[in-house]
Amino acid sequence: MPGHAFRAAVESGDIEAAVALLADDVTFRSPAVFKPYEGRETVSTILRTVYGVFEDFHYTDELAGEGVHALIFETRVGEKQVQGMDLIRADANGRIGEFTVMVRPASGLMALAERMGPALQAAGV
């Protein structure tokens, strides 16, 4: 089974190719905030920001179903080891319409939120 194009872009270090896969009206659900983020410009900023926060990021597994992919990852935020999942759902045009991130453990999520909050605020998100 060939991997999802988003995974291939991230693994090759091409964040621009990854964000190019987003639908204009993409919805992003963060593990750190209740309200989802909407729109390609906002979600692109989030992905570019987290790309700079995660260290030693790599996907370990991929699960696929009809129009949905779960990309399982491991990474580090500072000294915290983090495991997580990018749940990607395609829209009617095959673009990424929904992007949900889940992260564990809670201490890793807190470290991620502490780094991402100020960076996103500085980026106007």
In Å, how far are 19, 34, 38, 57, 105 from 77, measured between CA atoms? 22, 21, 25, 9, 12
Confidence of residue 2 (pLDDT cuts 50, 70, 90): low
Question: What is d(CA 98, CA 113) in angstroms, rounded to the nearest whole number?
Answer: 21
pLDDT of residue 1: 46
The number of folded domains in the chain is 1
Amino acid at 68: V
Report the alpha-carbon angle 55-32-35, nearest 5. 135
108 assigned to some structural domain: yes
Q: Is residue 92 part of a domain?
A: yes
Establish if 74 belongs to a structural domain. yes
User: What φ, ψ does residue 32 adopt, rounded to 5°?
Assistant: -105, -15
User: What range defines the domain where residue 62 resides?
Assistant: 5-119
CATH number of 56's domain: 3.10.450.50
**pLDDT 10s digits, 11-35:** 999 999 999 999 999 999 998 888 8
102 neighbors 85 (Cβ within 8 angstroms): yes
Percent of the chain with pLDDT over 90: 73
Residue 26 domain-assigned (yes or no): yes
